[in-house]
Structure 1
Amino acid sequence: MSEGMLICCGSLTLDNVLTADGRALPQSWGGNVLYSAAAARLWHDNVGIVSRIGHDYPAEVAERFVERGIDVSGLVPVDAPHGMNVAFSYRPDGSRVRKFPSEAVDLIPEADRARFIDYTTFGTEHRFATWMAFAPEGSDIPVSWRDRGLGLHCAAMPVERHISIARAMRPARKSGAWIQVDSPWYDERDLTRDYSADLFALIDALLPSEADLEIVAGSGSLAHQIDGMLASGLKRVVVKRGGEGCTLHTRGETDSHIPIYPSQVIDLTGAGDAFCGGFLAGMIMTGNPVEASHYGTVSASFAIEGVGISRLLKTTADEAQQRLAQYRDSIKVLPQT
């Protein structure tokens, strides 16, 4: 096992999914940190999870991840029920909502409807109280991991926690760990405040979705928003575009578009987080953001081929390497430096 490690920080959830064709999938344990860590583990043999976990969260999650070779000693117990119950309803175009219209609720069997109440639908105050209770901060990263951290991914969570985690890693790292963040723009407590500016100087890359960028773009274009972030000190933005692949924007360099790997879609949950975990591993292994995007793309392709996180956990390193080779052959793209 390699000495250095990859660290994935984020939240654990209980996931309830209503597909675009009206199927109510069984409740599964999940969360952005699980998808990113499982994806990173496809490529790297030393991955750890940092999160907070309620006393009633299924013990199976830790057992399964230990079996997968993922270090769970960064899971911090919370003496309270796990409050992050989430429910997604997917639209035919792949977008999703967390507060269902009545016609969607009618499709859910009556016995299952209670679990399709998302914790974010009770108002902003409740949402952030719950999120802060179960989102990790810098002090939650085991001290023994900090000097060993080759790279760190922060999944979506309150930006205060992103900053806390990045600041905890920066002084401790010996060899310059890569630090990346999914998206800091989920905070509607005060829309006039720039919650992200303090974060940009601490990280190496931002990996938002197009929908994330639209939150802050306002009436301006996404391209203008990205240019502004790069000009303000952010080094790199990797925009996840769902079925359109991703676009890589690096300060002072030509933009690159990375297509998807065609997969049979079973459940889109966690695809973006899996991309981030794969990108993290690819960046550490190759040092090349275009190559890292290939790792992320292949990771996401496995994530959507099963319900919840099941397919990612079943995928072997050999399968991942074979698909990566197939993907590279199919796109005929040479690594860019």
Structure 2
Amino acid sequence: MIVVCGEALFDVFPGAEAAAGVELSARQGGSPFNLAIGLARLGGKVQFFGGLSHDVFGRKLHAALQAEGVDMSVAPRPEAPTALVLVSVDDRGVPRYTFYGSGTAERRVDEADLRQVPADVQAVHVGSYCMVVEPVASTLRALVERQRGRSLVVYDPNVRLTIEPRVGLWRDTLQWMLERSDVLKVSEEDIHALYPSLSVAAFIERALGAGVALVVVTRGEQGVVAATRALPALELPAIAVAVVDTVGAGDTFQAGLLAWLQRGGYLTRGAVEGIGCGALEEALRFAARAAAITCSRTGADLPYLDEVTAALHPAPNSTK
């Protein structure tokens, strides 16, 4: 079982403008929410550990996760509203986020809630802005400390400076996690947001030196690069796709990577440390293909296992 921790919220997209207002369209989202659904759609066994409100939005989020096959037995249900995030997309399809709300449900998770999380789970995934806002950040750190050495600890910073603008806090959190993470997935954009003068290669060296077993850096149109302490950097080009938008692309890549590792029996630190070049390349190609499918359609509409399998192994007469 993989426990995915963090926020579930609603993304709000502006639509047509009128003299007295703006039409809005709300869609469920949040990086950990997307990741949990992506894992379930790709055949993974997953639990969601994130604060979900009892309001109309929270009930919808809970029902959506449950309908996808995500185990909801450990999700806290605080008496707080659901977070709303305004999403605007630029002319390249890249999203920008503005947070609305405070004291919202995803933040209202405390250490008492950790009693619900089994100690024998295969992996714990943390990340996004819940690692830098309180009280949930302290709760997730306590979970990482508890599970360190018991479960595979996976981290995706997913930096959102529009939600928490203190760069130093993000850097401190990342450094703390580098010393405790077994698998790190980070975007090149996030690296440059926190360390503008640091190259991807230098960051990978720093992360491996701090103790991370597997570092994966997604680079958008430039593809992906990954390394372990035993394997030199492996670079794969991006998959050609007609991009509609990139909302959920990073979450999909992470879902694909973790689903592949779970299916292949790699959800231990020893297995990740010993992964061979061929297996790592297969994992990255699976994750990249899944992300490409998401980029080919509107919003965070993550693919199912049969879609990714068909794209990787098209029928002989297929034109794909």
What TM bracket, shorter-length normalisation?
0.7 to 0.9
Q: What one-letter code is carried by the residue in structure 2 that aligns with 1:15? A: D
**Which residue matches 1:324?**
312
Write the distance in 2 (CA, Å) between the matches of 1:198 and 1:66.
32
- Select the residue among 150, 173, 181 that pairs with 2:122: 150
Alignment of 1:204-283 (within 5 A): 204-283=182-261
3-state SS, counterpart of residue 70 of structure 1: coil
Tell me, which stretches of 5 or more residues in structure 1 are unaligned? 100-117, 121-125, 328-337
Distance change in 2, residues 1:165/1:325 (3 Å): farther
Deviations 1:261-320 (A, max 9, x none): 3444334221111211211111222334333222322322333344334x33xx443223
Q: TM-score, normalised by structure 2?
A: 0.76
Alignment of 1:10-29 (within 5 A): 10-17=6-13, 26-29=25-28
3-state SS, counterpart of residue 93 of structure 1: coil
**Which residue matches 1:296?**
287
The CA RMSD measured in Å over matched residues stands at: 3.1
Offset at 1:139?
A: 5.2
Offset at 1:184?
A: 7.1
Identity within the alignment, %: 24
3-state SS, counterpart of residue 52 of structure 1: coil
Alignment of 1:119 onto 2:91: no
Deviations 1:68-121 (A, max 9, x none): 221122221121211x2112222233433335xxxxxxxxxxxxxxxxxx328x
Offset at 1:18?
A: 5.8
Q: What one-letter code is carried by the residue in structure 1 that aligns with 2:13? A: V
Contact 2:5 2:125 in 1 (8 A): yes
Write the distance in 2 (CA, Å) between the matches of 1:269 and 1:263.
14
Contact 2:95 2:246 in 1 (8 A): no
Distance change in 2, residues 1:226/1:70 (3 Å): same
Contact 2:246 2:294 in 1 (8 A): yes
Contact 2:80 2:104 in 1 (8 A): no
Q: What one-letter code is carried by the residue in structure 2 that aligns with 1:52? A: G
3-state SS, counterpart of residue 238 of structure 2: coil
Distance change in 2, residues 1:326/1:237 (3 Å): farther
**Which residue matches 1:191?**
168
Deviations 1:172-197 (A, max 9, x none): x3xxx322110175564472873333
Distance change in 2, residues 1:307/1:62 (3 Å): farther
Q: What one-letter code is carried by the residue in structure 2 that aligns with 1:154? A: V
Contact 2:243 2:295 in 1 (8 A): yes
Write the distance in 2 (CA, Å) between the matches of 1:76 and 1:142.
11
**Which residue matches 1:112?**
none
Write the distance in 2 (CA, Å) between the matches of 1:183 and 1:205.
12
**Which residue matches 1:65?**
65
- Select the residue among 278, 285, 289 that pairs with 2:263: 285
Distance change in 2, residues 1:166/1:291 (3 Å): farther
Offset at 1:208?
A: 1.2
Q: What one-letter code is carried by the residue in structure 1 that aligns with 2:156? A: D
Distance change in 2, residues 1:294/1:74 (3 Å): farther
3-state SS, counterpart of residue 220 of structure 1: coil
Write the distance in 1 (CA, Å) between the matches of 2:143 and 2:314.
36
Q: TM-score, normalised by structure 1?
A: 0.72
Tell me, which stretches of 5 or more residues in structure 2 are unaligned? 16-22, 267-278, 316-320
**Which residue matches 2:3?**
7
